[in-house]
Structure 1
Amino acid sequence: MSGKTLIVEIGTEELPPKMLYGLAQLFYENIIAELKVFQLVYKKVIWFASPRRLALKVMHLNTYQVDRVIEKRGPKLTEAFDIKGNITEKANTWIHFNKVPISELETLYTTKGEWLICRKIIKGKKTNLLLPEIIEKAIKKISIPKLMRWGENNIKFIRPVHTITILFGDKLIPSILFGVKSKRIIYGHRFMGHSKIKLINADEYPQVLLEKGKVIADYKKRKEIIKNGIELTSCKLGGKIYLNDELLQEVTSLVEWPIILHASFKEEFLNIPNELLIHIMENVQKYFPIYGIKGNLLSNFIFITNIESNDNNDIIIGNEKVLNARLEDAKFFFDHDKKRVLLDNLQLLEKVIFHKKLGSLRDKTKRIQHLSKWIAQKIGANVEYSIRASLLSKCDLITRVVCEFPDMQGIMGMYYAIYNGENRDIAFALSEQYKPSFSKDTIPSSLIGCTLSIADKIDTLVGMFGINEIPKGSRDPLALRRAASGILRIIIEKKLPLSLEDLVQEAVSIYKDKLIIKDIINNILNFMFKRLEKFYIDFDINIFKAVLSVRPLYPADFDLRMQALSYFLSLKESNKLIVINKRVSNFLIKSNHTVCHVINISLLKQKEEIELLNNISNLTIKLQPYFSKGLYTEALIELTTLSSIIDKFFDKVQINTFDENIHINRLTLLSKIRSLFLQIADISLLK
């Protein structure tokens, strides 16, 4: 493929490390979309990202746009020429408006007639003239919640922009973006290599940056170097690494020239809870903990530095000092907290506001206690332990460790509870009360943990909906969508016999007159059903609509119906039954008559309707145990036996008869068919 290489680099101040990968992906996707819009042909696009740059390289980009043919249809031939073959006024108006020479007019032949048509060839523009607009559009579509403004102008971006480099082959593309003129200068590492590098040709990138600037611009390559270095170092130390990909990605976004080093901390700190140690190393210091062969935490760690040094010892000692100081503080806080019984913190929760309209954390604890008792009874969890766990659930929020490290809430509650001699099942439930806290997080493993988690989340949901503090657009500061998804995941994955309506009603009843919004129960149920739809993203949307139409209020039951319908669509009889259900549904919708509850047997005149009634009656009795046990797949298989019988009925029996009583009786028969299927889903909505 012919063409030239395009390189675009935006040089900035340090970009947010947790956002760098996503920003690079957005830039990459946006540029591909714009190249498509502008009809520019290329071989492939490669993206680069480091702490101080976002860059794209387009390989074999054509130097011209593809020529486009524009077709404009005019009037019909019968309207374009009169009976003498002269051009009509209507055709003349169209010709003059489109500035088309009569000699270039053509005829378009279609099955619906013949029309005048003109075709114009729009020559493609030079690529280098289009690039500034393409790049500007791609950059402006990088949308994030918070943008920065710098200098005296109104220009905004993720971080202040210092350099713009756009080269097409060896030609600099003049452009001004973010108030910065495009130049050939790109910047190397802050402390190593060449500070400024003049880019002669786009093909040199990123190799020239690597060789002269000591910057590995290739994000994936940098990540692989770090990953391999960590694994090799841990092996040399006689340990192993459980790679946290989120941390690996963040560290990759923090360095341009990764150097892998290892150090150690005082062994006495291994007596601190492992979760706290790991949190400090990974989340606070961005270090990688090392584990022994048996999975025990070692007093060694690996860290990544961004600079080469003739003597790494000073760097190692410096990092050891920082970590040991952090762990010394953590140990002090932990020892201090253990001096106080966890339950003694309960009275202090009166002074901590959960929400000014919903009371204190002590008030929330009381509501969680009530809900935990109710939920535990429904799902078969230990009621006594569930009530005790809910009583202790928020007591660790005012401990020194959790105040310093908020992510340790629940986990530290477990350790303090064990230290105080609480039952281990109760203590373990404290550590699980916030699960799942993100989309890929695990759900609570114990029923007490499930009880506590659901109680906490539904209380928050009902409270916030009740005072009209609900998610709007993409904003969800209180993570109510996550709370709803967490409740649904727990119920479905654990197959818990919980009704959403009963659960919401119970939570609403506790608040009494504090909630100001009417129809709150229905609002929350609708909100949760919208979250439920996200669970079935891999399913045909019509399956979800078919199940939702009958509004099963038990999420575990909803899931069984979804699985059953998915299997049903694989059966050869499914299509025929869907068509039959659509036909039945249409008859009932279009009818102005009200169907009866009972079939009048004396009005059955034809053998086909008698046979259909007999089969419906038999299936109604046979399928009741299936429906009560949630055996929807088996029920649908049984219902496929009606296919040929209903076909005969429609072939031989006339629904719309002049005898109104017979007509209503036959509509009632159709309603019985529909009722059977509606005990699972409305399959007439399937396509």
Structure 2
Amino acid sequence: MKPLLLEIGTEELPVGALPGLAQALFDGVVDGLVKRGVAIERDDAKPLYSPRRLAVLLPGVAAEQPEQRSEVLGPYVNIALDAEGQPTRALQGFAAKAGVDWTRLERTTDNKGERFVHRAVTPGAATAALLPEVLAEAIAGMPIPKPMRWGTRDSGFARPVHWLVLLHGEDVVEAALFGVRSDRMSRGHRFMHEGPVWIAAPGDYVDALRAAHVLVDPDERRERIVREVREAARAVGGVARVDDGNLEQVNCLVEWPDAVTCSFDEEFLAVPAEALVATMETNQKFFPVLDEGGRLTPHFIGVANIESKDPAEIRKGYERVIRPRFADARFFFEEDLKQGLASMNEGLRTVTYQAKLGSVADKVARVAALAESIAPKVGVEPALARRAAELSKADLQSRLVNEFPELQGIAGRHYAAAAGEPAEIAAAIDEAWMPRFAADAIAPSPLGRTLTIAERLDTLAGGFRAGLKPTGNKDPFALRRNALALARTLVEAGIDLDLDAALEAAGADVAEVREFILDRLRHYYAEQGVPPQQFEAVAATHPQSPADFDRRLKAIAEFALLPEAEALAAANKRIRNILRKAEGAIPQRVDAALFAEDAERELAEAVDAAIADTDTALAQRDYVAVLGRLARLRPQVDAFFDQVMVNADDPAIRGNRLALLQRLADRLGSVAAIEHLSS
């Protein structure tokens, strides 16, 4: 076993694609070796990369494949040999294809009889001979949407390739990639290191590049960025805002990060902080500096890809490029304030939301009506909900949102506050867009949640009416995201909204959209580790609201941990099968006079007691208490099935026993279809 190093040196690779490209190359090389039977030691190996290189470093790779054994089955003996025991044309052809005389073939037996077989053992190929093919396959499998071609080459890569390092132990493996032959010469930092970097052995790689001012380990590079940015922010009395997405972009832009502290005119702080932060992070990849209260300060941190001898010049450059963007944001904000929220709202009449669904103003009117009707169920004043909904999309006509689309709702909050609207309305206009992304929280206020629910209901109902149901990866109106946002808001806020009634009020095809939302919930709970059997057990009962669905799901999870759960689930499954196969109508009432066995009498008494004990808990939706009480029925249920034959000859007794089982099944299924828990 010897370490293996592969490094592909390129022009600067696309930032967004870099981690994925590195992972794909790593996986492709590992899979290619494993597929060929070459033993490898991975330990904690991971993709290595920087803006100008992709690398794979494995601590141990075998020098060669193991022996390659093959077995090819030939014709059966009765076909292969004639009456005199001589080879037929079938056997001769098989032997010729195997490259041996027929007398050297072996025989084997299967369930059809004896047949000829060719077995061969060949030495394994040297890993060095296999690596060029492994590399070619790995590159072919990389997700490069728009390969670049350079020179006269027919094939392309993410960016032009300038060098190739391929070492197995201390030996260079001969290979060629895009006209570049492999050697042991890497390259250091473009500006801070002259000449090639000699790699004596794979184990020297990371340290050799570090000495050449390249941090090829993305984790090491990321840690240095965070450390330097935070230290720079502390030096000016603030705290750096380190957004994960922004950090990842910066990490893919630099090989040798160096933090530079910068500032801007305090007058720009009059602009909504979110606009300034968006400019710094999205447009310039800078890190804003906040005070202890989380407010923006007139400082930011840039990360250079060089240790400059004159950092003041880099600082000036960073400050110079950000000023025009800030000036634009201030201009847009001030012009929007002059225009006013009412004027912006009026402009929505001229903006088409969707050809079949009218203008944005039409959508606002629908959402306002829904919000007003939903409000009492969320504990909100209906008039307040209507007013907030009527203003919720006015900022789509603002210049600031036109320049910074990610400020939808945020800009509206500022404009509503400036217009003198109540604070809760201003906040709700912003919260209506929550959750904005997968890990985002739901709207924190009842009014914001009301707007979120109304907005998502209308979007889903309208999207399905207009024939925009998602297909495959296509979801132009983000209906999947809207369905999840609606479900999450109702579940996480514990809002008991009758989903069918709400969908009907929104003009939706209730069954179709409800099933769509249920599918989003299925993914939502699967990500939390909820077993699919438990989800389906609750889904089978068609709870009225997602919040009630959640309560039942948590109860069934506790029930599944009880020692009686498996047996009761199996019994309920058996009961359901019996009831489904029953012929004729099952009596509505159980007649104690028809009991012929003690076990059925005892089960009837136990069921009556359990129903009496759980009526209140069921009405109060204390599903944990309901299932806990029902679990105590197991002894009587077991005894019934051990001692009683349900399908008695006497039709009256048979019907009475079916009625008892129906009564039991109804209560066992009052929280969830527990039979789904039975394996």
TM-score by length of 2: 0.89
In the aligned structure 2, how far is the partner of 1:536 from the partner of 1:102?
61
State how 1:196-595 maps to structure 2 within 5 Å: 196-197=196-197, 199=199, 201-212=201-212, 214-508=213-507, 520-537=509-526, 538-595=529-586
> Does the CA-based 8 Å contact 1:174-1:181 persist in structure 2?
no
In the aligned structure 2, how far is the partner of 1:128 from the partner of 1:657?
77
Alignment of 1:139 onto 2:128: no
Give deviations 1:338-397, integer Å, cap 9, x for gaps: 112202212211111111222111111111111111221222222111111110011111
Q: Which amino acid is 1:529 matched to? A: L
The residue matched to 2:506 in structure 1 has which SS?
helix
In the aligned structure 1, how far is the partner of 2:558 from the partner of 2:119?
51
1:386–1:188 Cα change, 3 Å: same
> Does the CA-based 8 Å contact 1:342-1:417 persist in structure 2?
yes
The residue matched to 1:672 in structure 2 has which SS?
helix
> Does the CA-based 8 Å contact 2:344-2:394 persist in structure 1?
yes
1:493–1:159 Cα change, 3 Å: farther
Q: Which amino acid is 2:364 matched to? A: T
In the aligned structure 2, how far is the partner of 1:72 from the partner of 1:594?
63
Alignment of 1:610 onto 2:601: yes
> Does the CA-based 8 Å contact 2:105-2:117 persist in structure 1?
no
Alignment counterpart, residue 25 of structure 2, candidates 3, 24, 27: 27
In the aligned structure 2, how far is the partner of 1:647 from the partner of 1:117?
58
> Does the CA-based 8 Å contact 2:162-2:180 persist in structure 1?
no
Offset at 1:166?
3.0
In the aligned structure 2, how far is the partner of 1:462 from the partner of 1:321?
48
In the aligned structure 2, how far is the partner of 1:572 from the partner of 1:300?
61
1:671–1:130 Cα change, 3 Å: farther
Offset at 1:678?
1.6
> Does the CA-based 8 Å contact 1:147-1:159 persist in structure 2?
no
Q: Which region of structure 1 is more displaced relative to structure 2, 342-351 or 37-46?
A: 37-46
Offset at 1:536?
1.6
Q: Which amino acid is 2:451 matched to? A: L
Partner of 2:82: none
> Does the CA-based 8 Å contact 1:350-1:360 persist in structure 2?
yes
1:474–1:31 Cα change, 3 Å: farther
Sequence identity, in percent?
34
Partner of 2:614: 623
The residue matched to 1:436 in structure 2 has which SS?
coil
1:373–1:190 Cα change, 3 Å: same
Give deviations 1:163-202, integer Å, cap 9, x for gaps: 544332344444455x444422544433332365565544
In the aligned structure 2, how far is the partner of 1:667 from the partner of 1:638?
22
The residue matched to 1:16 in structure 2 has which SS?
coil
The residue matched to 1:57 in structure 2 has which SS?
strand
In the aligned structure 1, how far is the partner of 2:202 from the partner of 2:521?
48
> Does the CA-based 8 Å contact 2:106-2:116 persist in structure 1?
no
In the aligned structure 1, how far is the partner of 2:598 from the partner of 2:180?
87
The residue matched to 1:389 in structure 2 has which SS?
helix
Give deviations 1:502-521, integer Å, cap 9, x for gaps: 22211116xxxxxxxxxx33
In the aligned structure 2, how far is the partner of 1:625 from the partner of 1:672?
17
Offset at 1:655?
1.5
Offset at 1:302?
0.8
Give deviations 1:411-466, integer Å, cap 9, x for gaps: 11111111110000000001111110111111100011011112222222222222
Offset at 1:123?
4.5
Partner of 2:656: 665
In the aligned structure 1, how far is the partner of 2:172 from the partner of 2:475?
44
1:682–1:147 Cα change, 3 Å: farther
Partner of 1:515: none
Offset at 1:497?
0.9
1:33–1:525 Cα change, 3 Å: farther
Alignment of 1:129 onto 2:133: no
In the aligned structure 2, how far is the partner of 1:525 from the partner of 1:132?
53
Offset at 1:67?
4.2
Partner of 1:190: 190
Q: Which amino acid is 1:40 matched to? A: V
Offset at 1:13?
3.6
1:625–1:33 Cα change, 3 Å: farther
Give deviations 1:553-584, integer Å, cap 9, x for gaps: 41111111111111112111112212212222
Task: List alignment gaps of at least 5 residues for structure 2.
Answer: 79-84
Offset at 1:103?
10
Offset at 1:245?
2.0
Offset at 1:681?
1.3
In the aligned structure 2, how far is the partner of 1:323 from the partner of 1:393?
30
Equivalent residue pairs, number: 662
Give deviations 1:495-538, integer Å, cap 9, x for gaps: 001122222211116xxxxxxxxxx3322222211110122221
Give deviations 1:87-113, integer Å, cap 9, x for gaps: xx9xx99x98999989977999x9xxx
Alignment of 1:646 onto 2:620: no
> Does the CA-based 8 Å contact 1:166-1:182 persist in structure 2?
no
Give deviations 1:585-607, integer Å, cap 9, x for gaps: 23234444443333344432222
1:389–1:125 Cα change, 3 Å: same
> Does the CA-based 8 Å contact 1:251-1:286 persist in structure 2?
yes
The residue matched to 1:522 in structure 2 has which SS?
helix
Give deviations 1:121-171, integer Å, cap 9, x for gaps: 665332223223333333343337x43353577646544555544332344
> Does the CA-based 8 Å contact 2:161-2:180 persist in structure 1?
no
> Does the CA-based 8 Å contact 2:500-2:544 persist in structure 1?
yes
1:551–1:147 Cα change, 3 Å: farther
Q: Which amino acid is 1:540 matched to? A: P
Partner of 1:11: 9
TM-score by length of 1: 0.88
